[in-house]
Amino acid sequence: MALLRPARLRPSDLLRLGGYGLRSRPLRAVLSALGIAIGIAAMVAVVGISSSSQADLDRKLAALGTNMLRVSPGHTMMGDDATLPDDALSMIKRVGPVIAATATGSVTDTSVYRSDRIPEQETGGLSVLAAQLDLLDTVGATMADGTWLNAATAEYPAVVLGSGAARRLGDVPTVYIDGRWYSVIGVLDSVPLAPELDTAVLIGWDAARSYLGFDGHFTTVYTRAVESQIEAVKAVLGRTANPQSPEEVDVSRPSDVLIAKRTANASFTALLLGLGGVALLVGGIGVANTMVISVLERRSEIGLRRSLGATRGQIRTQFVSEALLLSLLGGAGGVLGGFAVTAVYAGTQDWPAVVPPWAIAGGLGATLAIGAVAGLYPAIRAARLAPTEALAAA
Amino acid sequence: MSPVIELAEVTKSYPGGVHALRSVDLSVEPGELIAIVGPSGSGKSTMLNVIGTLDRPTTGTVRIDGHDVARLSDRQLSALRASRIGFVFQSFHLAPGRDAVANVADGLLYAGLPKRERERRARAALVRVGLGDRLGHRPHQLSGGERQRVAVARAVAGDPTVLLADEPTGNLDTASGQGVMDLLRELNAAGTTVLVITHDHDIAGTLPRQVPMRDGQVV
Ligand SMILES: Nc1ncnc2c1ncn2[C@@H]1O[C@H](COP(=O)(O)OP(=O)(O)OP(=O)(O)O)[C@@H](O)[C@H]1O
Ligand SMILES: [Mg+2]
């Protein structure tokens, strides 16, 4: 007597069986896959947009460099504003791994106006900073318009406006500072590593001394150091700038501030991911619902297949693979949708569009898990049907 | 030669005191062609389902091709149906939207054949039932008689030992029904054991053996 063993279904046959159920009701398949697609698209887009913004920041940082340090006077033990010693800049330049160093000095008690007819109280919140000629290269700033100060213009009543200052003052050929006109010779692009320059009106060191009574103190020293030594340099800068009271010196790495801002966005991303998860759950329930109806409608098909020799397991697998296929359809559509949303949004922000592979893999993986869970119960019900009962349903 | 179907003291009861089969004994030799006749509700379909292992008896023994059905698991019964038993139903149970070849080939899915081979055998079976020129037709493009022929082709494509037909001509006009009966006779002549339930006395009268049923018993 020959052994009775059911034949195994090939993977290709399973795929066909699953697809057959969907193809017989295409509209229903598309609609129920849509729920999954929306959930996956939301999640992929959230991850994609945050990755794109990150990629943009990385790109910016790569261009700007992360090797800049900013030295400024902090506070004395008594809580008063401290000052940097006059030889701070030359001392810093002497540190081995320091590549470049430059300084700005705050010209206090001055206000900038676009004309002499504006009342004196209405200052624009702009600061006047005396700048050294190598400031531009050290902080990685670029000109939006006009020219930077040179040896000649640094001695004359001429100014360069930060991007924010230019916006506030408008497109003017001259500005009015403390009873004198200064010609505007250039405008800077915004400076991500030194945002304080954006709201500044920059004037040559000597001009500040001769026209505005500038005391010549450094208020900020910008330095570039060898990247690999940056932490070591950061550690000694306080002592170098002010050997008597190193604790009165603030040393910071502006690129860290940019990176910290990015992590602040992470909690918002988590919230959006949660919303995407809810959409996905609802999508999964939609798939389960579709499968339950499908099983009810196809009882006679189930009975026929049982009479043809399908085991309970094979009926179960058929419906599970149908559910998997259905949600995978949604998942694939969702990944594409999320990609599109990311690309469009990144395009408007001038970011590179980036969707990390783990997000795609995660999206499809979640989809498969949902399909399996959503399909299992209807599939088990289908497999439990008694063949005669199922056949009688026709 | 040992019988291919053997029922001994088979009963089938449903909850609520319905006794669909009361101690049925039946022995069928390989190659027989049998008409099962009897009034409505006499247990014909129930007996055919028990023979086809779609249903298990409440008591008694059922042997199919030497296998004691009571000793077989659900998986083994499925394998038995896939390899030894073909069914034809009154309502044809064809998948709408799929052509004749696909419908017949689907019947071989559980025999473990690759797709190409399934389709090859499906075409051969369709030619055998006289539908060689309707291979690509879908059910709605076929007449009732042709649909039932597709169903017969599906039942015999796997070359079963036993063919069970529950009122295969019930939905057909006399001429089409005649055609399907002729087909079953041909298959029987080629060696398949065939059991047909029919209400048609003219049809039943032409078959070599008749099993009359009444009140759940073979009389
Ligand atoms: N699932 C079931 N539950 C309860 N009673 C059932 C069930 N299936 C069949 N019966 C009963 O068993 C008896 C025999 O039914 P069966 O279907 O075998 O009759 P039949 O001879 O095929 O009748 P017909 O010629 O009308 O098809 C009937 O009285 C029927 O009501
Ligand atoms: Mg019946």
pLDDT digits (tens, 9 = 90+) for B197-206: 998 888 899 9
pLDDT digits (tens, 9 = 90+) for B67-92: 999 999 999 999 999 999 999 999 99
Residue A331: predicted pLDDT: 92
Does residue A232 lie within any of the structural domains?
A: yes
Is B66 an 8 Å CB contact of chain A?
yes
Residue A53: predicted pLDDT: 85
Same domain, A168 and A237: yes
Same domain, A98 and A173: yes
DSSP string, A26-76: HHHHHHHHHHHHHHHHHHHHHHHHHHHHHHHHHHHHHHH-S-EEEEEE-B-
CA of B49: which chain A residue's CA is closest? A388
Does residue A102 lie within any of the structural domains?
A: yes
Number of folded domains that form chain A: 2
Which residue, judged by its Cα, is nearest atom 18 of ligand 1? B43
Question: What is d(CA A393, CA A296) in angstroms, rounded to the nearest whole number?
Answer: 9
CA of B79: which chain A residue's CA is closest? A6
The structure tokens listed for A281 are: 């759950």
Q: Name the stretches of chain A with pLDDT < 70.
A: 1-2, 119-124, 261-266, 394
Q: Residues with Cβ < 8 Å from B68, sequence gap 6 or more?
A: B61, B62
Is B106 an 8 Å CB contact of chain A?
yes
The structure tokens listed for A55 are: 């990629």
Same domain, A163 and A15: no
Residue A115 is classified by DSSP as: S
Residue A67: predicted pLDDT: 84
Kindly state the average pLDDT of the residues B151-158: 93
Same domain, A32 and A134: no
Residue A281: predicted pLDDT: 87
Dihedral (Cα; A254, A256, A257, A263), 10-degree rounding? 160
Does residue A1 lie within any of the structural domains?
A: no
Domain end call among A203, A225, A252: A252
Task: Tell me the Ramachandran region of residue B57: left when phi exceeds 0, alpha when psi lies from -120 to 50, beta otherwise.
Answer: beta
Confirm if B60 and B24 have CB atoms less than 8 A apart. Answer: yes
Residue A97 is classified by DSSP as: T
Same domain, A268 and A283: yes
Same domain, A238 and A334: no
Residue among A317, A12, A305, A15 nearest B111 (CA): A305
Residue among A58, A76, A191 nearest A135 (CA): A191
Kindly state the average pLDDT of the residues B102-124: 94
Residue A124: predicted pLDDT: 67
Confirm if A202 and A131 have CB atoms less than 8 A apart. Answer: yes
Domain end call among A219, A252, A285: A252
Same domain, A286 and A176: no
A261: phi then psi, degrees, rounded to nearest 5: -60, -40
Same domain, A316 and A175: no
For ligand 1, whether the C-beta of B14 sits within 6 Å is yes
Does residue A3 lie within any of the structural domains?
A: no
Confirm if A311 and B75 have CB atoms less than 8 A apart. Answer: yes
Atom of ligand 1 nearest to the CA of A388: 1
Same domain, A94 and A243: yes
For ligand 1, whether the C-beta of B218 sits within 6 Å is no
Does residue A4 lie within any of the structural domains?
A: no
Amino acid at A258: L
The structure tokens listed for A292 are: 């339950």
Counting ligand 1 atoms within 8 A of each CB, the residue from B36, B45, B54 with the most, and so the one to mutate, is B45
Same domain, A128 and A40: no
CA of A8: which chain B residue's CA is closest? B112
pLDDT digits (tens, 9 = 90+) for B2-23: 899 999 999 999 998 899 999 9
The structure tokens listed for B150 are: 């597709």
Question: What is d(CA A101, CA B129) in angstroms, rounded to the nearest whole number?
Answer: 96
Domain end call among A201, A234, A252: A252
Instruction: List C-alpha distances in Å: A48 to A231, A266, A344, A382.
Output: 32, 13, 11, 40
Does residue A230 lie within any of the structural domains?
A: yes
pTM: 0.76
Same domain, A162 and A311: no
pLDDT digits (tens, 9 = 90+) for A151-194: 888 888 889 989 888 888 888 888 888 888 888 899 988 888 88
For ligand 1, whether the C-beta of B42 sits within 6 Å is yes
Question: What is d(CA B119, CA B113) in angstroms, rounded to the nearest whole number?
Answer: 10
Same domain, A242 and A281: no
Catalogue the E-assigned strands of chain B. Answer: 5-14, 18-28, 33-37, 59-64, 67-68, 85-88, 162-166, 193-197, 209-214, 217-218
Confirm if A172 and A76 have CB atoms less than 8 A apart. Answer: no
Ordered by where they begin, the domains of chain B are 31-53+73-211 (3.40.50.300)
Opening angle at CA A217, ends A148 and A119, nearest 5:
70
Residue A70: predicted pLDDT: 87
Residue B35: predicted pLDDT: 95
Does residue A6 lie within any of the structural domains?
A: no
Does residue A5 lie within any of the structural domains?
A: no
Is A11 an 8 Å CB contact of chain B?
no
Confirm if A171 and A150 have CB atoms less than 8 A apart. Answer: no
Residue B188: predicted pLDDT: 94
Atom of ligand 1 nearest to the CA of A389: 1
Domain of residue A374, residue span = 11-61+259-392
Residue B197: predicted pLDDT: 95
Residue A54: predicted pLDDT: 84
Opening angle at CA A296, ends A367 and A370, nearest 5:
10
pLDDT digits (tens, 9 = 90+) for B39-65: 999 999 999 999 999 999 999 999 999
Question: What is d(CA A360, CA A368) in angstroms, rounded to the nearest whole number?
Answer: 12
